[in-house]
A and B are shown apart, each in its own frame.
Chain A
């Protein structure tokens, strides 16, 4: 993970943003593509991928490797992810610390696993299968979770550290997911940063959250709020980051607002401003 390039600050590619992304090429260092959107794609989407790859460094971000599934990796899906990675030749690619299918059921969302020795062994085995097929560095993202399993045998941070160390993967630290979990589950996100292996952080995700009742929701449709910038700034102050991605999926504002968020992220990373006081 030590020799990865610094890609700068990018944005998650969404078709709705395509025109604006090309109009603002000078302000976007790279794009993160959702791998799944280009799997089994018609020619128009394949052409789009080719155009994007010719215009920006791309990082594929997949949703369904289901690295935490005890039933193992779905090899057809892995093959399709591998094809996209080979086509794009990225510096790294990413998926999540979760499971998304079991017993023939596709959940359609990122579901947390209990933090147990057995789950750890499952992750290691599945990631080894992925690495046998794809040699490009893999980085793993922390997800939001409302489910707290009583069967967990260790904390999330210990679990993440052990998975990353056992598999030599990097961490895609989602600042928004971390902040949301800290509010919803009631823990100190600074302590979380004390405990995860910061030297393995390769990339950041950031976007705003919104409140629903007494919980925060990662709707990917809101402006990045101050509290999440605070997490971002703290991470940037603690370690080198190879890339940061604004992960906005909906409720798109004027593109100038998104470019402004990219500029804020770039400014934080380049100045490495001291973290806010607690």
Chain B
């Protein structure tokens, strides 16, 4: 096995939980697509299995910490469910761009919007936070986000149940390099 093949397998093991589970339960079968011999596959699984799992776990933990910082209100409203939901998202998606944490946060937003267990208010909060991230990351002149709840109490640090059901529009403007934000 050359270095290229070894790195291809390791990169996948570090980032693809389903592949890793398959690999460690049957190394030969899972490594077939990488042209590893049975001995080579068994050797990776036996010698570095625990370390690979630790490394993969630390990668998810690092991604989680970064995404929590980018989505603080979503983190707060979801509580510990944020961690479970993020882990489910991370099992399906691995960011590839230079702005990987931003990409991860935006994709996690899409995941939550589709997730049937996530309530409408939380979906409004994630829609608000991802719209804000897009506005500043892309230095847009104008960004708007339509919400079904008035989430201002949540943004002010108050309890989530103070956010009333009411159509609102969050608007970000950039005028002469100054950013302005308001609700309609």
Q: Which residues of A contact B (CB under 8 A)?
A: 36, 39-40, 42-44, 64, 69-71, 77, 80, 99, 101-103, 105-109, 111, 113-114, 116, 118-119, 122, 146-151, 215, 217, 250
Contacts and interface: CB of A to CB of B under 8 A. Distances in A.
A61 to B, nearest CB: 14
Contact of B3 (A39, A109, A119): A119
Nearest to A38: B98
A103 B8 contact: yes
Interface in B55-92: 55, 58-59, 62-63, 65, 69
Contact of B100 (A71, A106, A111, A119): A106
A113 B3 contact: yes
Contacts of B10: 102, 111
Interface of B: 2-4, 6-8, 10-12, 14-16, 43, 47-48, 51-52, 54-55, 58-59, 62-63, 65, 69, 94-96, 98-100, 136-139, 177
Given A109-B58, A146-B55, A122 B3 contact: yes
Contact of B15 (A36, A40, A108): A108
**B interface secondary structure, majority:** helix
A70 B7 contact: yes
Contacts, number: 99
Given A71-B4, A118-B2, 18 more contacts: A39-B98, A70-B3, A70-B7, A99-B11, A101-B11, A102-B4, A103-B4, A103-B8, A103-B12, A105-B8, A105-B12, A107-B14, A107-B15, A108-B63, A108-B94, A146-B51, A147-B55, A150-B43
Given A108-B15, A108-B95, A109-B59, A43 B48 contact: no
A227 to B, nearest CB: 21
Contacts of A250: 65, 69
Given A43-B177, A119-B3, A150-B47, A106 B94 contact: yes
By Cβ-Cβ distance, the 10 closest A-B pairs, closest first, are A42-B139, A103-B8, A102-B7, A70-B4, A105-B11, A70-B3, A102-B11, A147-B51, A106-B96, A146-B51
B59 A114 contact: no
B48 A149 contact: yes
Contact of B11 (A43, A103, A146): A103
A147 B55 CA distance: 8
28 contacts: A40-B99, A42-B137, A44-B177, A70-B7, A101-B11, A102-B4, A102-B8, A102-B11, A103-B4, A105-B8, A105-B11, A105-B12, A105-B16, A106-B96, A107-B11, A107-B14, A107-B15, A108-B95, A108-B100, A111-B11, A113-B3, A116-B3, A118-B3, A146-B54, A147-B48, A147-B55, A148-B51, A151-B6
